């Protein structure tokens, strides 16, 4: 709708026409339209000059809008100045005539807004569009206006063609394009469409908008090519020299359309993968791309030609870089003096420069002596080996001068770095026959000895090595994780615990390198306390690498700090004997064997109509799936006389009143009663929830587990689940869950595809393993992928997306969580914090209350100086890595917490309520 304003002046001679029934003149005008900022006249003209106290009022009473100013006149009515949108509404004129209150009929005032400036044009497409011949062009622009008085149109360059137009004359915009303008209230959009572009359609397309304040426009430049293209920006550093050990970045800049589907880097004909040694990054903006290959800590063997290759179907390009690694010189051989001549062979890149020096001092570097003599004659230098890339080998021969000199030095120099060897020339050396029977026998014996040593060394390498599975991330570069070297972590000696206060009991687990032993610790937190603990130690046959690995495990545990759902560090013995790592004791053993023990007494409580049938079948007995021991001793309740943490508060108080003595049978019966209780679905949900909480804690500490499975979850009193790493206490050579792959034994059925096929371990690969753990829990300890051996067929099934069906006792919600953990794309798997939220929704209010009550009190630790440290404070400065980052280590020793009483008392109540 368009509005045209006409200004005019009229001279009126006003005469009053008295109307006793109407104080104001009747008129056909009931609606007044004006623009914002203009004046508006309401024509309420009086019929009698005796009308006084003229005023303007809203039709429905009340006050006039704020800021409304007007002038009242019998001749002109009401004139409102500087109208605003807020003034819109219904108004009447009032006054008094002969003492009576009179008023006019209603007038509706409408204020039409006016824009402040020319329209702002918004383009949906970027300022440059690239197409190939035959493609469709669609350009869309839009603008808004405070009123409907807005125009929007496209202007195309002259001579454009449209595939649907076949006119020989020069086409207009309407012939070359189809312009669609669709107003939506006060929003205008315009679309330009060319069905099949040609190269002549290249040029600038302008969208122009106009309102009352002026004209504004935005443009798009169209480039139409006959076919796709890739244009490389010439590089001025095609040949690069860099020192060994330094890093180098190779940059490629290019413009391409369509987007290349192939970006590759190759070295000596072999394609490079994105690894920690070869980091490949790509950045692009519209049609420009910047690809960088970062070579980290270059080695001499990495000298050569690096080639970048890109293709988009229409075009293929490559760009090569010659990289020369500067190496230190080295003397590879030297001979003499023999028949008055010495020989010195050196190699390096660039080719070493060999110089000779004489001096009188024996067995000292001549080049560092003030009185040394540099020999410049009688030298013959030849190049023995000069590869295109790599080290150049140079030989230098010198006819020596006999006399007063004792020492001759050969110095090889590359880029200011030297290597040298010394010759003693005070006496002539008489050459021996090379191939005498004695020398042949010696060489043969030495060769045989070398073969034997090589065989023994190979056998040694084939032996499994103990190493901690948990890895702490230092930083993330793209898809590459950089781990903290645990040997470099600090160790706080405040963790030390006196050896003479440990009393060892039975062996809980034993492996190829060490064992875990039950022990009683006296005075762990206070002088008079007694506590049952688990102690990790090495066997006497352990090597230095195993000792270092156990120390690394101790440092990692101290770094992580404590959490309710991991097996926490209590102390250590590192001086005055073999290393001992003291951890919490978990009386019910590992989760896998616990589930298998409880299969026959399992009570299904959440599955539905078929639950009764499943309970009956379980009561009739089921065969345990797989080996239920795996070489471990069950951690049944100890009878060492130690007061367990789960003992009720009333019994603790009664024993303290009796002078601290305890009745050993009462302690054992309490723990055996808990172990004898049945298992139900709520327990399985609780185990799943607790493990997820523990893994979320490890992830917050930037720690990857790498071997998450039911066999690595321990249970303690109150059926609290704790994540651990058996490590040295498991002999993986006899454990069927660990399959030989390459030179290692791996838990393949628990590993994610990227871990199996690419040896990549991340937070997301732990989430996959957690999904397998959930399957173990809700199948009551069955082996995953039942009936499927780990062979080439298994690997093919995993690659093709095979996933296990829901286990027998899993609610549908839990199976959905398993499936989400098994997503092929690692980034589509949920984080452990998300898994915690989803499982928490399925827990009963009782279980939530018990867990939250205990976790809020667990544990108040004692620091190395005896200060109290809350868990929340301890973790406050730790940042979880989403990209590159690091976390602050915690070195707080974990001691006993009196809050265990409340939790275990409540947990015991829940167990008695839910058991059948």
Which residues are designated catalytic? 707
| Secondary structure (3-state) at 832 | helix
Q: Could you tell me if 88 and 109 are in contact, meaning their C-beta atoms sit under 8 angstroms apart?
A: yes
Q: How far is CA 260 from CA 88, 130, 310, 346, in A?
A: 59, 14, 6, 47
Element (H, E) at 42: strand 40-42
Q: Could you tell me if 589 and 509 are in contact, meaning their C-beta atoms sit under 8 angstroms apart?
A: no
For 456, list phi and psi in degrees, rounded to 5.
-65, -40
Cα 302 to Cα 864: distance, rounded to the nearest angstrom: 48
Q: Could you tell me if 356 and 377 are in contact, meaning their C-beta atoms sit under 8 angstroms apart?
A: no
Alpha-helical regions (H) of 76-180: 173-176
Read off the tokens for 287. 């049609």
Phi/psi region, residue 541 (left: phi>0; alpha: psi -120 to 50; beta: rest), is: alpha
CB atoms within 10 A of CB 329: 25
**Torsion of Cα atoms, 59 then 61 then 64 then 65, to 10°:** -80
Cα 277 to Cα 296: distance, rounded to the nearest angstrom: 5
Q: Tell me the CA end-to-end span of the chain in Å, nearest whole number.
A: 80
Pick from 519, 475, 467: nearest CA to 497 = 519
Burial readout 96-131 (b: 16 or more C-beta within 10 A, e: otherwise): ebeeeebebeebebebbebbeebbebeeeeeeebbb
The full DSSP string for 278-343 is EEEEEEEETTEEEEEEEE-S--GGG-EEEEEEEE-SS-EEEEEEEEEEE---EEEEEEEEETTEEE
CB atoms within 10 A of CB 380: 11
Element (H, E) at 270: strand 270-271
Q: Could you tell me if 70 and 36 are in contact, meaning their C-beta atoms sit under 8 angstroms apart?
A: no
Q: How many residues does the chain have?
A: 916
CA 104 to centroid of chain Cα atoms:
74
What SS3 string covers 430-498? CCCCCCCHHHHHHHHHHHHHHHHHHHHHHHHHHCCCCCCCCEEEEEEECCEEEECCHHHCCCCHHHECC
Read off the tokens for 60. 């429905």
The full DSSP string for 71-86 is EEETTTEEEEES--GG
Read off the tokens for 894. 């974990």
Cα 793 to Cα 82: distance, rounded to the nearest angstrom: 84
What SS3 string covers 637-660? CCCCCCCCCCCCHHHHHHHHHCCC
Cα 590 to Cα 628: distance, rounded to the nearest angstrom: 10
């Amino acid at each position: 709708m368009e509005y045209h304003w006409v200004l005019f002046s009229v001279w009126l001679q006003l005469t009053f026409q008295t109307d006793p029934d109407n104080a104001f003149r009747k008129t056909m005008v009931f609606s007044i339209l004006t623009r914002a900022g203009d004046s508006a006249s309401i024509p309420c003209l009086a019929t009698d000059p005796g009308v006084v106290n003229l005023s303007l009022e809203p039709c429905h009473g009340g006050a006039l809008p704020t800021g409304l100013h007007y002038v009242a006149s019998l001749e002109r009515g009401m004139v409102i100045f500087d109208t605003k949108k807020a003034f819109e509404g219904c108004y009447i004129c009032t006054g008094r005539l002969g003492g009576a209150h009179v008023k006019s009929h209603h007038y509706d005032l409408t204020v039409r807004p006016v824009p402040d400036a020319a329209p702002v044009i918004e383009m949906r497409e970027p300022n440059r569009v690239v197409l190939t011949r035959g493609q469709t062009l669609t350009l869309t622009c839009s603008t808004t206006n405070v009123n409907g008085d807005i125009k929007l149109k496209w202007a195309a360059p002259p001579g454009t063609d449209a595939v649907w137009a076949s006119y020989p004359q020069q086409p207009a915009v309407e012939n070359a394009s189809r312009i669609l303008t669709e107003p939506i209230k006060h929003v205008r959009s315009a679309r330009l469409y060319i069905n099949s572009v040609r190269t002549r359609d290249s040029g600038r397309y302008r969208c122009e908008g106009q309102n009352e304040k002026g004209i504004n426009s935005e443009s798009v430049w169209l480039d139409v090519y006959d076919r796709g293209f890739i244009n490389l920006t010439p590089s001025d550093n095609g040949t690069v020299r860099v020192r060994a050990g330094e890093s180098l970045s190779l940059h490629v800049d290019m413009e391409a359309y369509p987007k290349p589907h192939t970006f590759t880097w190759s070295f000596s004909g072999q394609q490079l993968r994105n690894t920690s040694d070869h980091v490949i990054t790509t950045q692009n903006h519209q049609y420009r791309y910047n690809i960088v290959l970062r070579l980290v800590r270059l080695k001499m063997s990495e000298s050569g030609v690096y080639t970048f290759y890109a293709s988009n179907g229409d075009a293929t390009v490559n760009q090569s870089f010659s990289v020369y690694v500067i190496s230190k010189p080295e003397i590879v051989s030297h001979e003499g003096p023999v028949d008055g001549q010495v020989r010195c062979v050196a190699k390096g890149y660039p080719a070493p420069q060999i110089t000779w020096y004489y001096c009188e001092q024996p067995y000292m570097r001549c080049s560092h002596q003030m009185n040394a003599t540099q020999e410049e004659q009688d030298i013959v230098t030849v190049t023995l080996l000069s590869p295109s890339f790599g080290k150049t080998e140079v030989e230098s021969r010198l006819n020596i001068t006999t006399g007063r000199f004792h020492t001759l030095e050969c110095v090889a120099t590359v880029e200011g770095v030297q290597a040298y060897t010394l010759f003693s020339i005070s006496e002539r050396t008489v050459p021996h026959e090379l191939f005498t029977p004695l020398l042949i026998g010696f060489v043969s014996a030495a060769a045989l000895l070398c073969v034997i040593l090589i065989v023994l060394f190979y056998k040694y390498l084939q032996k499994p090595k103990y190493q901690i599975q948990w890895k702490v991330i230092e930083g993330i570069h793209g898809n590459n994780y950089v781990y903290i070297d645990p040997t470099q972590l600090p160790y706080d000696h405040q963790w030390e615990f006196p050896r003479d206060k440990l009393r060892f009991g039975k062996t809980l687990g034993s492996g190829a390198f060490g064992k875990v032993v039950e022990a009683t610790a006296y005075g762990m937190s206070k002088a008079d306390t007694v506590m049952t603990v688990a102690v990790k130690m090495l066997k006497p046959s352990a090597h230095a690498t195993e000792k270092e690995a156990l120390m690394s495990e101790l440092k990692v545990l101290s770094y992580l700090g404590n959490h309710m759902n991991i097996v926490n560090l209590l102390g250590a013995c590192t001086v005055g004997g073999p290393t001992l790592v003291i951890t919490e004791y978990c009386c019910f053993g590992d989760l896998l064997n616990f589930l298998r023990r409880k299969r026959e007494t399992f009570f299904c409580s959440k599955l539905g109509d078929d639950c009764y049938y499943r309970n009956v079948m379980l009561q009739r007995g089921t065969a345990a799936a797989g080996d239920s021991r795996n070489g471990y001793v069950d951690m049944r309740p100890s009878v060492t006389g130690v007061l367990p943490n789960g003992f009720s508060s009333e019994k603790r108080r009664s024993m303290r009143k009796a002078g601290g003595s305890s009745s050993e049978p009462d302690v054992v019966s309490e723990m055996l009663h808990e172990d004898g209780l049945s298992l139900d679905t709520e327990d399985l949900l609780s185990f799943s929830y607790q493990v997820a909480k523990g893994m979320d804690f490890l992830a917050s500490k930037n720690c990857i587990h790498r071997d998450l499975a039911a066999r690595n979850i321990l249970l303690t009193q109150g059926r609290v689940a704790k994540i651990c790493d058996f490590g040295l206490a498991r002999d993986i050579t006899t454990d069927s869950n660990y399959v030989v792959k390459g030179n290692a034994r791996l838990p393949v059925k628990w590993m994610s595809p990227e871990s199996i096929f690419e040896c990549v371990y991340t937070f997301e690969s732990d989430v996959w393993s957690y999904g397998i753990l959930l399957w173990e829990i809700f199948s009551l300890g069955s082996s995953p992928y039942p009936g499927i051996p780990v062979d080439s067929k298994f690997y093919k099934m995993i690659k093709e997306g095979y996933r296990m069906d829901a286990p027998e006792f899993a609610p549908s919600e839990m199976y959905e969580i398993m499936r989400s953990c098994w997503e092929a794309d690692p980034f589509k798997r949920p984080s452990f914090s998300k898994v915690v939220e989803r499982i928490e929704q399925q827990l009963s209010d009782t279980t939530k209350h018990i867990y939250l009550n205990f976790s809020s009190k667990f544990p108040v630790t004692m620091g190395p100086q005896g200060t109290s440290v809350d868990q929340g404070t301890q973790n406050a400065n730790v940042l979880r890595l989403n990209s590159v980052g690091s976390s602050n280590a915690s070195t707080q020793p974990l001691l006993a917490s009196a809050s265990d009483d409340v939790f275990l008392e409540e947990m015991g109540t829940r167990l008695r309520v839910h058991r059948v």
